[in-house]
Amino acid sequence: MHRFYLPPDRCAGDTLRLDGCEAHHALHVLRLQPGEPATVLDGVGHEILATVAAAGRDAVTLSVSQRNFVPAPPCSVTLLQAVPKGKIIESIIQKAVELGVRRIVPVLSERVVTQLDDADAKNKRDKWQHVAIEAIKQCGAAWLPQVESPLPIARVLAGREPFDLSLIGSLQWERRHPREVLRGFAAQHGGSPRSVEVWIGPEGDFTPAEVKAIQDSGAQPVSLGRLVLRVETAALYCLSILHYELQRD
């Protein structure tokens, strides 16, 4: 089944219209013809089954046959990812989408010096949000994570919302396995957290001052195992554990 994305405000009615890059992909890559099935995702839980009604030069009209709603995951997970060098962040965003993350906050840290003005930050954010859109189309996720503009750690901490549980992947000795932290939370509160944030550092990890600031805000250090993991592996490790422990169907 070929999947496409349309914003929620464009998903009402019995017919839907694909244009722009979505139409280009349908017409010139997939070469969809009238009568072929397609699925449209709106990113807020709706999966719309449709059939191609017409394929023009630069637009595709879909006839809606069924609408399904997929409930949001029971735990809202936010990934606060220090921006690594190169395009590694794009791979991290893709995997985060596949593992059910609801929000991704790119963090500017001292050990990866990236100077961005407001326009650069918006361009980065738009590009990374598009990566997330392509990821939900690939994996079929009904919920599109919100990708924020990259911000320095101090600004993230100043404006952060409250979470039931906050974690930071850590290389220091005083740390616990994420499963142990989750079970301790359940024992104390009588159930699993409904919202979790997890901080993942850049190459070389966060600086000691950054780690202190994040932990002073309430984040608990968790172990990533005895080996030193690459940035993308560390993110995948933590998100996989959270998905297994908290997002079971």
Span 57-74, pLDDT tens digits: 899 999 999 999 999 999
Domain limits, the chain: 2-69, 76-246
The span from the CA of 222 to the CA of 188, in Å, is 18
| pLDDT for res 111 | 81
User: What pLDDT score does 114 carry?
Assistant: 66
Which fold is adopted by the domain 2-69?
Answer: Ribosomal Protein L25; Chain P (2.40.240)
pLDDT at 119: 80
- pLDDT value at residue 247: 79
> What per-residue confidence (pLDDT) applies to 60?
96
> Which residues does 18 contact at the CB level (< 8 Å), separation at least 6?
4, 6, 26, 59, 60, 61, 62
**Domain 76-246 homologous superfamily, CATH:** SPOUT methyltransferase, trefoil knot domain (3.40.1280.10)
Q: What is the pLDDT at residue 209?
A: 94
Which pTM was predicted? 0.92
List per-block mean pLDDT (blocks of 10 residues) for the chain, which spans 249 residues. 95 96 94 96 97 94 97 95 91 96 94 73 92 96 96 91 92 80 94 96 90 94 85 93 83
**pLDDT at residue 173 in the model:** 63
- Residues 183 and 197: their CA atoms lie apart, in Å, by 16
Token readout for 148 is 């924020």
Q: Check if 2-69 and 76-246 are the same fold.
A: no
User: Which helix or strand (DSSP H or E) is residue 76 part of?
Assistant: strand 76-82
Which amino acid is residue 13, in one-letter code? Answer: G
pLDDT of residue 217: 94
Phi, psi of 111 (to 5 degrees): -85, -5
What does the longest C-alpha to C-alpha distance in the chain come to? 61
Structure-token match 């395009």, residue found: 87
The pLDDT value given to residue 41: 98
Q: Give pLDDT, residue 248.
A: 64
Q: What is the pLDDT of residue 113?
A: 63
Amino acid 150: pLDDT: 92
pLDDT in the model for residue 227: 80
pLDDT at residue 53, rounded to an integer: 97
